[in-house]
Amino acid sequence: MIDWTDWHCRFFHRQLSARALLYTEMVVADAIIHGPREKLLSFNGEEHPVALQLGGSDPAKLVEAVRIASDYGYDEINLNVGCPSDRVQSGTFGACLMQTPEVVEACVAAMKQVATVPVTVKCRIGVDEQEAEAVLPDFLARMIGAGADAIWIHARKAWLKGLSPKENREIPPLDYELVYRMKRENPDVFLGINGGISDLDQAVRHLAVMDGVMLGRASYHNATLLTEVDQRIYGEAAKPVDWDHVRDAMIGYAERVVASGGRLNHVTRHMVGLFQGYAGARRYRQILSSEATKPGVSPDLIAEAFAAVDIAGGPKTQVASSSTSAAAE
């Protein structure tokens, strides 16, 4: 989720769930080696647990990226073998690597040699004309043999030509049963599922079979569902959301961002999906999406946006509400 799950987004999501595993945007190994490391790898300590998602296909470069990242304290390193975007394909990483599982196998084995935290893989069930039922078992066997600590499976093929990244999230049919079969055949391996999961009711159903559930755009566009993750997925005692704390934490965070040269909307753009279905949510969105872009606006605008919502009244409409695990990508 490039340009979505940056450190501002992750700080916000952490205010809503203490337990969900948060993922960074995908960062290319070459960028870490040659680019602005602090900008690419730094994160707030409050974000833990957080996984660094890497892109790449050269074992030596990925090893160097893992070594560099080890100083930053991530809880997991994830290799992305699922992204179908054109720029990922041009760099020969992401979903196109499903066509060369031996390359991914070598990458994971090399990363495991130097990593001090779990190394995981996020993949598709196949790409293009591949027969997923033949490709996926072999791919998983290679990842397991290379030492992958967990494998997250997006239950759709990726079509590398002819479909946009958005279409690749919607048009290829979901095959949950194939992913379930992979779990039944690999009972001792952590396998998580991703793709088309829009609420926690669906997540709980998947967790009857799978070890983990990954929520991407669902947790971004309807961030309120994250407030139920700790209770429904991790079994913690139910307690009301302290919305005043969320509001004040985000105001304080935004003040630090603005003081360091950032803009308020760098933070608030990630907050627009909160309060789906609540009375006043439309005004809340208007405030954060339009007024937050004005020059010199104060972070106190966040308080104004919260005040527009009838929080006590709760959601008025049914909205898309993860060992078990939940991950927010």
Q: Is 53 annotated as a binding residue?
A: yes
Classify each residue of 61-79 as buried b or exposed e, where b means 16 or more C-beta atoms within 10 Å of its C-beta.
bbbbbbeebeeeebebbbb
**What pLDDT is attached to residue 93?**
75
Residue type at position 141: A
**What pLDDT is attached to residue 87?**
60
**What pLDDT is attached to residue 328?**
58
Pairing relationship of beta strands 76-81 and 119-124 according to DSSP bridges:
parallel
Nearest to 57 by CA among 34, 25, 89, 33: 89
Q: Is 55 annotated as a binding residue?
A: no
- Direct distance between the N- and C-terminal alpha carbons of the chain, in angstroms, rounded to an integer: 7
**What pLDDT is attached to residue 294?**
92
Q: Is 216 annotated as a binding residue?
A: yes
pTM of the model: 0.90
Q: Which pair of tokens denotes residue 127?
A: 């790409």
Give the pLDDT mean for 300-323.
Answer: 79
Q: Is the pLDDT reported for residue 162 higher than 80?
A: no
Give the pLDDT mean for 92-100.
Answer: 86
Percent of the chain exceeding pLDDT 70 equals 92
Integer Cα distance of 35 and 37 in angstroms: 6
Q: Is 195 annotated as a binding residue?
A: yes
Q: Lowest-pLDDT range, 117-126, 158-167, 264-273, 304-313? A: 158-167
Tell me what the pLDDT averaged over the chain comes to: 92
What is the DSSP code string of 226-281? GGGHHHHTT-PPP----HHHHHHHHHHHHHHHHHTT--HHHHHTTTTTTTTTBTTH
Q: Is 113 annotated as a binding residue?
A: no
**What pLDDT is attached to residue 285?**
96
Kindly name the residue from 9, 83, 107, 123 that is annotated as catalytic: 83
Nearest to 252 by CA among 4, 11, 6: 11
Q: Phi first, then psi: give them for residue 230, nearest 5 degrees.
A: -60, -40
**What pLDDT is attached to residue 223?**
96
Q: Is the pLDDT reported for residue 51 higher than 80?
A: yes
Farthest-apart Cα atoms in the chain, separation: 57
123 is catalytic: no
Residue 156 CB coordination number (10 Å): 25
Integer Cα distance of 45 and 74 in angstroms: 10
Q: How many residues are recorded in the chain?
A: 329
Q: Phi first, then psi: give them for residue 317, nearest 5 degrees.
A: -130, 160
Give the pLDDT mean for 313-323.
Answer: 58
**What pLDDT is attached to residue 323?**
40
**What pLDDT is attached to residue 158?**
86
Q: Three-class SS of residue 211? A: coil
Q: Is the pLDDT reported for residue 175 higher than 60?
A: yes
Q: What is the pLDDT of residues 228-276, one digit of tens each?
A: 999 999 999 999 999 999 999 999 999 999 999 999 999 999 999 999 9
Q: Is the pLDDT reported for residue 320 higher than 80?
A: no
**What pLDDT is attached to residue 318?**
47
Q: Is 183 annotated as a binding residue?
A: no
Q: Which pair of tokens denotes residue 93?
A: 């990483």
Q: Which pair of tokens denotes residue 2?
A: 């490039």
Q: Lowest-pLDDT range, 116-120, 165-169, 266-270? A: 165-169
**What pLDDT is attached to residue 91?**
61
